[in-house]
Amino acid sequence: MSETKAEELKEKLFLKRKNGRLCADENVLKQCEIYCEDYKAFLDSAKTEREAVKTAIALAESRGFKEFEIGKKYKPGDRVYINNRGKSAAFAVIGKQPVEKGINITAAHIDSPRLDLKPNPLYEELELALFKTHYYGGIKKYQWTALPLALHGVFALKDGSVKEVCIGEEDNEPKFVINDLLPHLAQEQNKRTLNDGIKGEELNVLVGSHPFKDDKGSELVKLNVLELFNKKYGITESDFLSAELEMVPALKACDIGIDRSMIGAYGQDDRVCAYPALTAVLDVENPEKTAIAILADKEEVGSMGNTGLESDFLRYVIHDLARMQGGDGTVAIRNSKCLSADVNAGMDPTFQSVNEKRNAAMLNYGVVLTKYTGARGKSGTSDASAEFVAEIRSMLDNAGIIWQTGELGSVDIGGGGTVAQFIANMGADVVDLGVPVLSMHAPFETTAKLDVYMCHRAMYEFMK
């Protein structure tokens, strides 16, 4: 051995960071490919929170999950789900130990930044019909122009029926678009800051240009558009008032890179963690402790509302499960542990200055453990305890899972938060664990396949 004393000591004492594609064996990389094919299919069938819940429940039912019934006794190994208004859902596998002993929870969100139609969206101007929108979540508005869009969502009618809408996903279906100014005439626009390059009230979606054939009258293009909606869904203009209609990119998930090592798609924040949390709980059988994967809505707008994690939905789920065994839900929560499964920012070679590279996440370095998020001196974060981080670190290493740590940007450069804080507030132990993403919140986000698969393995290891 020609190793020097220093090399020997370094090997023993230094923290080693290594590209996961260099540590993973061929079989793992093969598994990762197979897993990500299914992940891409999930992304295409679950572009909104409602579609994600529907797709997730269908998958769960195919794996033996049944809708939870209050008052019914469940035994260890039983598999149940709770559907919260079709926009968030919890999936549980009952453990051998009483629920009071604590639950292993994974929590991800299934809402993504997008453009919601306003309650009164449709208008006509210069013989073109357009939709007014109000963006949802933190977007860079200029990114949403000159891009094919699809319309997803529901009309809820006064008679109580709900009409599902999806236009623009099939190749032969029409798409929608928000137009931008041509560079030739953008002299004034180019002087705006990037944030104002496209303003909120300029995110107007082109919906039609064909006038209703009549000899006179105004707003004939709008009339024709409404007639088409009426024929398809039986709605009139006032039905937009009780609708939830979302404009999302009409793009399919695909491989990125000539080596096919990455995935590009809309809505990977946070479906890139929601799908692993879901597939992990579906794989769990006869766990020691009860396992719950919760897919939440409204994270991108602060988790407010009865389908977000600021609500008591998760608390009630835990109380219901504990009560079913004659136990106390509060005790169960206090003994529970949670992986808050959300994305972190991957380092981008072009924009390295926003990160502090010793602590930032890299693509292909595995699932990211984020001790704290927050902004301006860790403000607004749930900073996980050293003890809980040690427990998770040990779990990941023992299972041979490739992982790294991450921080959301350099100090004072910005920041953000996840649902971790809300679950921490309930009194459970929580830490963030997720996948690094490039172009987060853009209409098309990039992740690395290896990190996605490691996220699934980590979620499974935690709940099994």
Which residues make up the interface to Mn ion (CB under 5 A)?
A: 269-270, 342
Query: Residue 294: beta bridge partners?
Result: 90, 107
In angstroms, what is the minimal distance from the CB of 404 to Mn ion? 18
- Residue pair 367/451 in contact by the 8 Å Cβ criterion: yes
Burial of 353 (0-12, 13-18, 19+ CB in 10 A): exposed
Residue with tokens 């959301």: 408
In angstroms, what is the minimal distance from the CB of 292 to Mn ion? 19
Residue with tokens 């230094």: 14
* Cα distances (Å, whole numbers) of residue 48 to 151, 297, 309, 338: 10, 10, 17, 24
Nearer to Mn ion among residue 20 and residue 113 (C-beta): 113
In angstroms, what is the minimal distance from the CB of 299 to Mn ion? 6
Residue nearest to Mn ion (CB): 270
Nearer to Mn ion among residue 156 and residue 301 (C-beta): 301
- Residue pair 318/98 in contact by the 8 Å Cβ criterion: no
- Residue pair 298/389 in contact by the 8 Å Cβ criterion: no
- Residue pair 276/455 in contact by the 8 Å Cβ criterion: yes
In angstroms, what is the minimal distance from the CB of 440 to Mn ion? 6
The H-or-E segment that residue 317 falls in is helix 313-324
In angstroms, what is the minimal distance from the CB of 342 to Mn ion? 4
Q: At what angle do helices 49-62 and 26-45 cross, to 10 degrees?
A: 120
Backbone dihedral region of 139: left (phi > 0), alpha (psi from -120 to 50 degrees) or beta? beta
In angstroms, what is the minimal distance from the CB of 345 to Mn ion? 10
Supply 256's token pair: 């990125």
Nearest of 116, 147, 134 to residue 48 by alpha carbon: 116
Nearer to Mn ion among residue 270 and residue 451 (C-beta): 270
In angstroms, what is the minimal distance from the CB of 26 to Mn ion? 32
Q: At what angle do helices 268-283 and 449-463 cross, to 10 degrees?
A: 40
Nearer to Mn ion among residue 124 and residue 297 (C-beta): 297
Nearer to Mn ion among residue 256 and residue 440 (C-beta): 440
Nearer to Mn ion among residue 94 and residue 296 (C-beta): 296
Residue 328 CA to residue 221 CA, distance in Å, equals 60
Nearer to Mn ion among residue 269 and residue 451 (C-beta): 269
In angstroms, what is the minimal distance from the CB of 273 to Mn ion? 8
In angstroms, what is the minimal distance from the CB of 408 to Mn ion? 11
Nearer to Mn ion among residue 124 and residue 269 (C-beta): 269
Instruction: Report the b/e string of 119-135 with b at 16+ CB within 10 A.
Output: eebbebeeeebbbbbee
What is the DSSP track for 412-464? TS-EE--THHHHHHHT-EEEEEE-EEBSTTSSSEEEEHHHHHHHHHHHHHHH-
In angstroms, what is the minimal distance from the CB of 75 to Mn ion? 35
Residue 416 CA to residue 315 CA, distance in Å, equals 24
The H-or-E segment that residue 96 falls in is none
Nearer to Mn ion among residue 65 and residue 144 (C-beta): 144
Nearer to Mn ion among residue 268 and residue 336 (C-beta): 268
Nearer to Mn ion among residue 51 and residue 111 (C-beta): 111
In angstroms, what is the minimal distance from the CB of 158 to Mn ion? 34
Nearest of 250, 255, 309 to residue 452 by alpha carbon: 255
Radius of gyration of the chain (CA): 24
In angstroms, what is the minimal distance from the CB of 293 to Mn ion? 16
Nearer to Mn ion among residue 261 and residue 303 (C-beta): 303
Pairing of strands 415-416, 374-375: antiparallel
